[in-house]
Amino acid sequence: MPLVTQRCVAILYQALPPPVIDGLRKDAKPGGYSDGGADIAVALRGRGVAVATPVAAPDPAVALDWVFPDTAAGIAAAIAAGADTIWANTVLFAGHPLEWVRAPVGIVGQEPAAMQRFDDKFATNRMLSDAGLPVAGSFLLSGSARPGVVALDGVAGAIVTRGMAFPLIVKPVRGRGSQGVTLVVDLPGLVAAAGALLAAATFGDMLMVEAYLPGEEMTITVLPAEAPQPDGRVAGGQHALRPVLRFDQRGGVAPYNGDVPVSANSAAIAAARMDEPAVVAMVAACEAAAAMVGSRSAIRIDCRADAGGNFHLFDLNMKPNMTGPGRPGRDDQDCLSAIAARADGWEYADLLLAMLAARWVAG
C-alpha cells in the first residue's frame, strides 16, 4: 500500500471548451469530470493527504466545492490555495494552461502535447500496429476523399480492398467512452450511421471504421514506472493491473458509464486466468503500448478477442475515468481502474495514492 504523502493536491476539472484538432473534436463530458475529481479529492483527504479546495468548507455532496477549473486562472487559484501538486483530471491538449506549470509544483497526469497526440485513436493504433502490437484493423472515413481518408460513397470498395467484412464498428477518431460508437451489420447500416455522425459534426469531419472483434472484451489499466504495484514493489517499468472483463454489451458495444455504472457490467478476471497465454500476451502488449506513448500517469487500454481467442487492442485512453465511492450517492461509482485495483487488494484510495506517487515536475 502506498505511503500517505505530505503533498498538498488540487484537482482540476474540464472547464475549457475542447478544441478542434485537425478537423476532429473530443466532445466534453457533462460536468467536465468534476464528479470524478471530487471523488479523488475526498478519497485523498480521507487518507490524510492535504487537498486544496476552492471553498473553505467543501460539501462532499457538491462536486464543484472540491475542484478547480483547468483555466489559467483556476490553476493559479489552486497554487495560491497552497497546492504543490496539480492533478489534471481533465482532457489536455497542446497549449493547455497546464504547460505553464513549473517546478516546484508537480503534476499528476499526462503531458498535454502527448495527450493531444495519442488521443487520436486512428494514428495511435496505426503506430502500435506498425510496432508489431496486435491492434484491430481500421481506416478513416469522411464525406469526401482526401489522402489517407476514404469517402463515404467509396466505403464498400475500401472494406473489400482491406480484407474486412461486416459486422464493423463506426466510431469517432477522438471519442470519449462509447459515445458515437456503433456496430453496423451491413452497408446500408454503415452509411446511415456514418452519415448521421458526419452530419451532426459532434466529433468533427472524420470517423473510423474498425474491425469488429466477436470475442471477450477486457480492459487493462497500466500505471507508470514510478507508481508502486499493489504488493508495494516498484516495477521499474510500465505495469498493468488485473484485466477487467466487460459484459452485457448493448448492440456489441459497452454502454456509456453515465447510463450504466461500470460496476454493473464489469468484473476483474479470476487470478487463475492470468496465466492463460492469450491474457499474458494481452497484458504484455498493453504494457508495451504504455511505454510507447510515454505515459506519465494511469492509462486504460480496451481490448477484444477475435474468433480465435487472441486479443487485439482497439482503444488507448490517455485519460481514463477515475470515479470512485466515498461521497454521498457514489457507492456504485467504482471506475474500471478501481475494479482492477480491488482485485489485487487495493482500495480506491490506494490506487489514487499510487498515482500520486508518480507525480512529475516540468521544467
CATH of the domain at 206: 3.30.1490.20
Q: Where are the alpha helices (DSSP H) in 81-184?
A: 112-118, 121-130, 155-161
Q: Is the same domain home to 305 and 193?
A: no
Residues making up the chain, counted from first to last? 363
pLDDT tens series, the chain, 363 aa: 444 457 899 999 999 988 999 889 888 889 999 999 999 999 999 999 999 999 999 999 999 999 999 999 999 999 999 999 999 999 999 999 999 999 999 999 999 999 999 999 999 999 999 999 999 999 999 999 999 999 999 999 999 999 999 999 999 999 887 888 999 999 999 999 999 999 999 999 999 999 999 999 999 999 999 999 888 888 789 999 999 999 988 888 888 777 788 988 999 999 999 999 999 999 999 999 999 999 999 999 999 999 999 999 999 999 999 999 999 999 999 999 999 999 999 999 999 999 999 999 987
361 located within any domain: no
Domain that holds residue 55: 8-109
352 located within any domain: no
Q: Is the same domain home to 239 and 305?
A: yes
Q: Is the same domain home to 192 and 254?
A: no
Identify the CA nearest to 331 among candidates 125, 60, 44, 108. Answer: 60
| Residue 208 and residue 123 in contact, taking contact as beta carbons nearer than 8 Å | no
Q: 336-343 and 348-357 helices cross at what angle (nearest 10)? A: 100
Distance, CA of 67 to CA of 273 (rounded, Å): 39
Fill in the amino acid letter for 185: V
pTM of the model: 0.95
Examine the fold and report which residue of 211, 243, 259 is the final residue of a domain before the chain moves on: 211
| Residue 22 and residue 98 in contact, taking contact as beta carbons nearer than 8 Å | no
Q: Is the same domain home to 324 and 204?
A: no
Q: Is the same domain home to 160 and 41?
A: no
Say which residues have a Cβ less than 8 Å from residue 57's Cβ, sequence separation at least 6.
none
Q: Is the same domain home to 226 and 323?
A: yes
How many structural domains does the chain have? 3
Examine the fold and report which residue of 211, 243, 258 is the final residue of a domain before the chain moves on: 211
Examine the fold and report which residue of 160, 182, 211 is the final residue of a domain before the chain moves on: 211
339 located within any domain: yes
The C-alpha cell of 59 is what?
Answer: 460539501
